[in-house]
């Protein structure tokens, strides 16, 4: 069995959310020089690549997922030369760099959208509802005539951030024009029209700009959203678990042409550059279409990210993901946290009443679907998060770690309303708490009031005082800390041939026969002849482990007399 040929088939990728990672100049917002200063942390952790959430010029109304200039760095983060220096430092530490790209929409401060607003449409009562206005600069966006003589939105499409997806533009006299532009997300994020060749070629230029600077690849924001159903038809929102796609702006077939063009650009480089898709698409066979070998290299595994603490469900998701990707020969990815969902320690925590929390059913509206006000048992939550990351790192393919996950951080709820910045909070009148709770600046050490996030006393979101004991520096000195566990797991993963070596025809894993709340599988032997068994106990009673030398366990008391405690995981020689 041969080892993999491409780094992205089995990499460990660390996500940096720049405004919350490290702040070099004390303005309360993380920046590129801050990231630069913490590269040693990433090198010591042992990750292969860094994925950087948007660093582009932006009014930051959706934390940079609203881009005003795709070819420059936002001044709050630094400048192009800081960015080039970061690439060089990462590369000389053996770490690749993936950056985010946001092609579905621009910011309303993008030159294209400002140009469009400078060409106001005329309010003409004879125009039929849903008529498209594509004069001049409006051809790059979706501007449609509203219903009822233009007075209401063109259709009933719901926005991901609350309300409908339409916003009316004023006419030349500043009066309502009866014309509305499409925004699947916030109104400050107008959707681009990807049937327009100018839009397509402009983005190919953006890709080349960053590839030429040395970035190794892109994470593509909303990769399933760029094509809209013809005629803008209404639809019913899919029910959780319903695999049929009813949504007229998700997963429409023409989107694949775009990815084929992008792949051609990536292949022109040596070594070829890579893509990872943010595509919330089910079922696994539909998702696999994005990963055909002339499209995107990998895609995030959202069923895995949103699964509840349940052995049977998790095994099914692992099998589905592997089978789905095998259809197209693509490696699988695994992820337990990112900047859009609750941190694993909180998500996995049982309710204080002892009941298990519900799964998220693939729902991005996490704060709506999971009731944050119900107290949870975080001691168990953290144990499960530790077991969860170990299991994820034992699975075949690429694993993503979100900044702070290596510290076992929990979701933060005690943020004053006035400080919340996620548009989802304001747009739903606070019903959806939004995603700020997983975006709180990292605690590095106890050298300042912001736990070393900067040398000052303020950060853009407040950090809980209890984090004094969870800083990276504090955990560095405690052998059993989450930080040291993740470091050990990454080191071991690198040294064990069985945990790498993904090829499309290889046997990825062999399940053990176990009770339903045990997740237990063997990664077959490769170069060094050693097979590895990964076991996680998602049940309530201890589980007797099969024979085999214990290599790593998720807690110091996880394995006692050959039994694996609940909420724990172990790696053994098989
Ligand atoms: C997905 C990103 O992960 C999220 O943070 C953002 O708000 C939306 N796409 C819109 O760009
Ligand atoms: Ca700063």
Residues of the chain with CATH 2.60.40.1180: 505-573
* pLDDT at position 3: 44
Distance CA 16, CA 301 (A): 18
Query: Cβ–Cβ contacts within 10 Å for residue 171, how many?
Result: 16
Atom 3 in ligand 1: residue holding the nearest Cα: 340
* pLDDT at position 278: 97
Radius of gyration of the chain (CA): 24
CA of 23 to the centre of ligand 2 (A): 4
CA of 328 to the centre of ligand 1 (A): 27
Using DSSP bridges, classify how beta strands 56-57 and 69-73 pair: parallel, antiparallel or unpaired. Answer: antiparallel
Helix 378-394 and helix 482-495: axis angle, to 10°? 10
* pLDDT at position 283: 87
Q: Which residues pair with 106 in a beta bridge?
A: none
Residues of the chain with CATH 3.20.20.80: 7-103+197-407+467-489
* pLDDT at position 359: 66
Tens-level pLDDT at each residue, the chain (574 residues): 344 579 999 999 999 999 999 999 999 999 999 999 999 999 999 999 999 999 999 999 999 999 999 999 999 999 999 999 999 999 999 999 999 999 999 999 999 999 999 999 999 999 999 999 999 999 999 999 999 999 999 999 999 988 999 999 999 999 999 999 999 999 999 999 999 999 999 999 999 999 999 999 999 999 999 999 999 999 876 665 565 567 899 999 999 999 999 999 999 999 999 999 999 998 899 999 999 999 999 999 999 998 889 999 999 999 999 999 999 999 999 999 999 999 999 999 999 888 888 766 444 454 555 677 788 999 999 999 999 999 999 999 999 999 999 999 999 999 999 999 999 888 888 888 889 999 999 999 999 999 999 999 899 999 999 999 999 999 999 999 999 999 999 999 999 988 876 555 556 899 999 999 999 999 998 877 899 999 999 999 999 999 999 999 999 999 999 999 999 999 999 9
Q: Which residues pair with 532 in a beta bridge?
A: 523, 573
Q: Are 97 and 84 in contact (CB under 8 A)?
A: no
Unique residue bearing structure tokens 């996880």: 558
Task: Assess whether the previous peptide bond of 378 is cis (omega < 30° from 0).
Answer: no
* pLDDT at position 360: 62
In this structure, what are the phi and psi dihedrals at residue 398, rounded to the nearest 5 degrees?
Answer: -100, 140
* pLDDT at position 433: 86
> How distant, in Å, are the alpha carbons of 14, 97, 267 from that of 295?
23, 20, 11
Task: Assess whether the previous peptide bond of 446 is cis (omega < 30° from 0).
Answer: no
CA of 205 to the centre of ligand 2 (A): 29
* Pocket test residue of 19, 54, 65, 66 for ligand 1, highest count of atoms within 8 A of CB: 65
Distance CA 218, CA 204 (A): 12
| Burial track 188-197 (b if 16+ CB lie within 10 A, e otherwise) | bbbbbbbbee
Q: Which numbered ligand comes closest to the C-alpha of 222?
A: 1
User: 138: phi > 0 → left, psi -120 to 50 → alpha, else beta; which?
Assistant: alpha
C-alpha dihedral, 150 to 153 to 155 to 160, nearest 10°:
160
Distance CA 257, CA 387 (A): 40
CA of 26 to the centre of ligand 2 (A): 6
Q: Which CATH number fits domain 505-573: 3.20.20.70, 2.60.40.10, 2.60.40.1180, 3.40.50.970?
A: 2.60.40.1180
| Shortest-distance atom of ligand 1 to CA 424 | 7
Q: Which residues are near ligand 2, the ion (C-beta closer than 5 Å)?
A: 23, 25, 27, 29, 31
> How distant, in Å, are the alpha carbons of 86, 152, 542 from that of 212?
15, 46, 54
CATH top-level class of 7-103+197-407+467-489: alpha beta
Burial of 419 (0-12, 13-18, 19+ CB in 10 A): exposed
Distance CA 75, CA 55 (A): 9
Run of H or E including 572: strand 568-573
* pLDDT at position 1: 34
Q: Across 285-384, where does the E strand assignment appear? A: 298-299, 333-335
* pLDDT at position 306: 87
Atom 6 in ligand 1: residue holding the nearest Cα: 65
Using DSSP bridges, classify how beta strands 274-277 and 49-52 pair: parallel, antiparallel or unpaired. Answer: unpaired
Distance CA 8, CA 509 (A): 19
* pLDDT at position 162: 87
Q: Ligand 1: residues whose CB is within 6 Å?
A: 62, 65, 102, 185, 221-222, 278, 339-340
Distance CA 308, CA 312 (A): 10
Q: Which residues pair with 200 in a beta bridge?
A: none
CA of 500 to the centre of ligand 2 (A): 38
Which tokens go with 484?
């040291």
């Amino acid at each position: 069995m041969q080892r993999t040929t491409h780094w992205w088939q089995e990499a460990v990728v660390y996500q940096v959310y720049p405004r919350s990672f490290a702040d070099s100049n004390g303005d309360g917002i993380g920046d590129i020089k801050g990231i630069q200063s913490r590269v040693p942390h990433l090198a010591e952790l042992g990750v292969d690549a860094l994925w950087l959430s948007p660093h582009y010029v932006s009014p930051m109304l959706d934390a940079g997922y609203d881009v005003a200039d795709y070819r420059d760095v936002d001044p709050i983060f630094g400048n192009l030369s800081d960015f080039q220096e970061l690439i060089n430092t990462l590369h000389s530490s053996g770490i690749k760099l993936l950056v985010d790209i946001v092609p579905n929409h621009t910011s309303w401060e993008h030159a294209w959208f400002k140009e469009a607003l400078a060409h106001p449409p005329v309010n003409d009562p004879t125009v039929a509802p849903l008529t498209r206005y594509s004069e001049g600069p409006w051809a790059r966006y979706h501007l449609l005539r509203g219903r009822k003589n233009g007075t209401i939105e063109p259709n009933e499409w719901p926005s991901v951030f609350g309300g409908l997806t339409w916003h009316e533009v004023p006419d030349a006299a500043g009066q309502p024009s009866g014309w509305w532009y499409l925004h699947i997300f916030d109104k400050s994020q107008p959707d681009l029209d990807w049937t327009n060749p100018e839009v397509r070629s402009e983005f190919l230029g953006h890709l080349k700009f960053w590839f030429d600077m040395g970035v190794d690849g892109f994470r593509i924001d909303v990769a399933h959203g760029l094509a809209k159903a013809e005629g803008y038809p209404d639809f019913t929102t899919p029910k959780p678990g319903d695999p049929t796609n009813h949504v007229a702006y998700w997963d429409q077939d023409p989107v694949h042409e775009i990815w084929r063009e992008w792949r051609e650009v990536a292949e022109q480089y040596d070594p070829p550059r890579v893509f990872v898709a943010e595509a919330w698409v089910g079922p696994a066979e539909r998702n696999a279409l994005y990963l055909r070998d002339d499209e995107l290299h990998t895609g995030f595994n959202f069923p895995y990210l949103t699964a509840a603490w349940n052995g049977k469900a998790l095994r099914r998701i692992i099998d589905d993901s592997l089978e789905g990707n095998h259809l197209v020969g693509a490696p699988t990815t695994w992820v337990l946290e990112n900047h859009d969902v609750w941190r694993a320690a909180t998500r996995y925590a049982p309710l204080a009443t002892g009941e298990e929390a519900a799964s998220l059913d693939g729902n991005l509206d996490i704060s709506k679907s999971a009731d944050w006000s119900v107290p949870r048992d975080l001691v168990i939550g953290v144990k499960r998060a530790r077991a969860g990351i170990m299991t994820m790192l034992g699975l075949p393919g690429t694993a993503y770690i979100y900044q702070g996950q290596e510290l076992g951080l929990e979701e933060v709820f005690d943020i004053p309303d006035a400080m919340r910045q996620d548009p989802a909070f304001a747009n739903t009148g606070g019903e959806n708490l939004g995603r700020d709770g997983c975006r709180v600046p990292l605690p590095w050490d106890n050298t300042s009031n912001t736990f070393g996030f900067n040398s000052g006393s303020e950060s853009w979101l407040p950090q809980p005082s209890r984090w004094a004991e969870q800083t990276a520096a504090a955990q560095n000195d405690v052998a059993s800390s989450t930080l040291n566990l993740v470091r050990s797991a990454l080191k071991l993963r690198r040294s064990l041939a069985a945990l790498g070596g993904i090829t499309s025809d290889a046997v990825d894993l062999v399940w053990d026969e176990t009770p339903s709340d045990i997740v237990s599988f063997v990664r077959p032997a490769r170069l060094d002849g050693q097979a590895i068994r990964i076991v996680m106990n998602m049940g309530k009673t201890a589980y007797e482990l099969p024979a085999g030398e214990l290599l790593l366990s998720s807690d110091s008391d996880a394995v006692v007399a050959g039994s694996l405690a609940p909420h724990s995981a172990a790696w053994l020689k098989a």
